[in-house]
Amino acid sequence: MKKLIFILFLFCINDIYSEEINKNIFINKDDFTKNDIKDEYDKIISENLKGLEYSDENVNLNNDNESNTLICNSYELFKKGKSLYNEKKYYDAKEIFEQLIDPIRKDNIYAPYALFYCALINYNLGELNDSRYFFEYLKDRYSDWEQINEVIFWLAKINFENKKYLSAIKIINEIKEINQKKVYFKKGNLVFKRSIKKNKRIFLEELIKLKKYYLINADTPLPLQKILEKYPKDELTKDILAKRIALDPFINLENPWSQNIIKKFNLNIAKYDLFYNLKSIKKKSYNIAVMLPFFCDSILKKGNTFVLNLYKGINLALENLRNQGLKINLYCYDTKKNTEIVNKLLQQKELETMNLIIGPLYPNTVNIVADFAKEKRINMVNPLSYNSDLAKNNPFVFLFKPSSETQAYKAIEYIYEDKMKEKKIGIIHSSNKKDLKKALLFKKYIEKDQNNTIDLMMELDDIQAQLFLRKFRNNKDHKKTEKQIEEEEKQKAIFDNITHLYVATNNKLIIGSILAIIEMRKIKPVIIGHQKWLEYKSVDFGKIQKYKILLIAPEFINYNKNKIHKFRLKYYKKYQELPDLYSCIGYEIMNYFGNALEKYGIYFQKEWNNKEVAETKIFEKVSYNKFRDNQEIEILTLKNGKFNEKVYAEKFHPYIYSINNKEYAFN
């Protein structure tokens, strides 16, 4: 009989610890250093961490059958609670686990695991304070628990999420030392021999990754400053703060706050700011390379006209600069949209003498030239892309156009200048990847920077847009039940409470459907769109002029201005044709960056912060400050049936810090 009980108990114990207790409880804390990857981060957090190993020969029993029965009954409860947890039935699971938490009996082997689950349940329910309470109770009551360091990890994580950075760092610094050794644990009448798989080094690496993730993503550098004031020898925090000061567009290195922090903590700014020790030399003459897909061997290549017009604009601006006395040597290279050809071109020593590169245009060639520019310390500008990834981690790459991120910022800036107290914000987008990216950026900035929520997020394609519009038409069906009619009315009211609607697409069908629905519902949200809408005959702004519409216009040209007429006349005289948008872009790029070289030298970005580089010849304004994409965007507003432009030139959340009770704005 005793032998039978012993075998049954071994079966329970092995099943419990090998499959149930340690499965999906703990986490494999992978790389936490990436930005803007919350979904991936959540996925990492949910991965498994293998638990402790048990051996049958290391289990000692006595004749206490009542205790053995209690353990097996508790196992069934634990199994049920875990199943409910995996099904995300958190409230039901919590009730089960709370039964396993016995405040009196310390020999309850399930208590720490049940507490751990209760803490995780509260975390998943968004109750961070309750989750922290369970973890702290577990840490205090079961300080010798074999997985106590997992508890410390979660306590640090929760403090980071609550932005209690100093508390999190304190927890990490107090981590107990763990050695790779075997430990004996006594639980009542049972003695287990357990092999701790993870040693101190591995666990501390995981904590460092956690710390790195949250410090990198801190809203401002202030928490980093406070950590260093408490722990001045914290090298990781020093490194992150140095990178933040060097690369954050809002922080001016010459600002007293920056200078004070750099000196006080001996920060290595030069590690991240490649210009920190570079001098912007002014030269007697400058070499500029134009790397475009000319396809010189097939000059009449279909679809290549825009490249030629871009170059014509560059060439015309070059003539004007030379007439002003600027000495610029222009070198043209045909990339043919081919990576092999670009690699061969970059092997020419001549390219290493360039002071500026204009182009290339296509991603496959841009990345190659960008790497070359970074290695050789040569500035380059992309004329047509909105993609900020091209300039990411490369301070020598500029976008002439405002990036998708900057456009989203400008739209949000407009929304929050609106005096309306309660804002209900909706986003409509297509299934197109670019539209989805714009929508997600807009959502991210609303939620993160403005601490607001998105009340409506909807994706439509052509067919869905038409079907969606059909629901709003007054087609009465007498066969429908009252419940069906009531449900349809609820669906029709989806936009009724929206105060600001961002339509993140240039799809004609979607735009037309949304505007028609707004007109039918007789509602008046602020509608945010793109200047491309002006080109669509299907969008009748005359019908909806009573509504408030604004269009983000990164390529807007006011043809009523005298300087535009002068440029068009000059262009026509030279080429016997009128300029298009690409001609205008080419002209403005050469005018702006040519003057930047003449005025500030080869590393003009070191000098041009908040300074006017040159008067623009076509667009209203061009400016970069410490950014690497153009910060100037026209906002067109519909008023009295006409669009009037409004320019927003500044970011909407400059940092302000204090040193010795004095305030300094980063500008």
3-class DSSP state of 128: helix
* pTM to 2 decimal places: 0.66
Is the distance from CB of 48 to CB of 28 less than 8 angstroms?
A: yes
Query: What does the DSSP assignment read for 446-492?
Result: HHHTS---EEEEEE--HHHHHHHHHHHS----TTS-HHHHHHHHHHH
Percent of the chain with pLDDT over 90: 37
pLDDT of residue 123: 93
* 46-55, 184-193, 199-208, 641-650: least confident range: 46-55
Mean pLDDT across the stretch 183-211? 55
> Out of 396-400, 457-461, 610-614, which region has the weakest mean confidence (pLDDT)?
610-614
pLDDT at 405: 86
CA-based radius of gyration for the chain: 32
pLDDT mean over 292-305: 75
Average predicted confidence (pLDDT) for the chain? 78
- Please report, as a single letter, which amino acid is at residue 445: Y
Residue-wise pLDDT for 119-168, tens only, equals 999 999 999 999 999 999 998 888 888 788 888 889 999 999 999 999 99
Task: Please name the residues in contact with 135: beta carbons below 8 A apart, sequence gap of 6 or more.
Answer: 116, 119, 151, 154, 155, 158
pLDDT tops 90 at residue 591: yes
CA distance 158 to 122: 11
H or E stretch covering 582? helix 581-600
Answer yes or no: are the C-beta atoms of 409 and 386 closer than 8 Å.
no
For residue 69, the model assigns a pLDDT of 53
Half-sphere exposure of 502 (CA within 13 A, CB side): 30
Q: pLDDT at residue 446 above 60?
A: yes
206-210, 487-491, 505-509: least confident range: 487-491
Answer whether residue 300 shows pLDDT above 90: no
Return the minimum-mean-pLDDT range out of 9-13, 518-522, 589-593. Answer: 9-13
- Provide the token pair at 642: 């006409």
Which one has a higher pLDDT value, 433 or 353? 353
Average pLDDT over residues 182-192: 37
Q: What CA–CA distances, in Å, run from 486 to 76, 382, 475, 491, 514?
A: 47, 53, 15, 9, 22
Q: What was the pLDDT predicted at 544?
A: 65
Asked which of 27-31, 82-86, 437-441, 537-541 is least confident by mean pLDDT, the reply is 27-31
Distance of alpha carbon 227 from alpha carbon 206, whole angstroms: 19
Closest residue by Cα to residue 153 from 234, 36, 35, 44: 44
CA distance 573 to 577: 8
Query: Which of the pair, 207 or 64, is modelled with greater confidence?
Result: 207
pLDDT attached to residue 277: 76
What's the average model confidence in pLDDT over 561-585? 93
Residue 172: both structure tokens together: 């990490």
Instruction: Tell me the mean pLDDT in the region 464-474.
Output: 79
pLDDT at residue 200, as a whole number = 61
Greatest mean pLDDT among 64-73, 138-147, 561-570 = 561-570
Which pLDDT score, from 0 to 100, does residue 154 have?
92
Q: Hey, what are 629's tokens?
A: 């994409």
Q: Which two tokens stand for residue 317?
A: 């601006």
Q: Please check whether residue 505 is in contact with residue 430, taking contact to mean a CB–CB distance below 8 angstroms.
A: yes
How far CA 85 is from CA of 18, 22, 29, 73, 122, in Å, comes to 18, 14, 21, 19, 11
Please give the DSSP secondary-structure letter assigned to residue 17. I
Mean pLDDT of 445-466: 85
At 10, the amino acid letter reads L
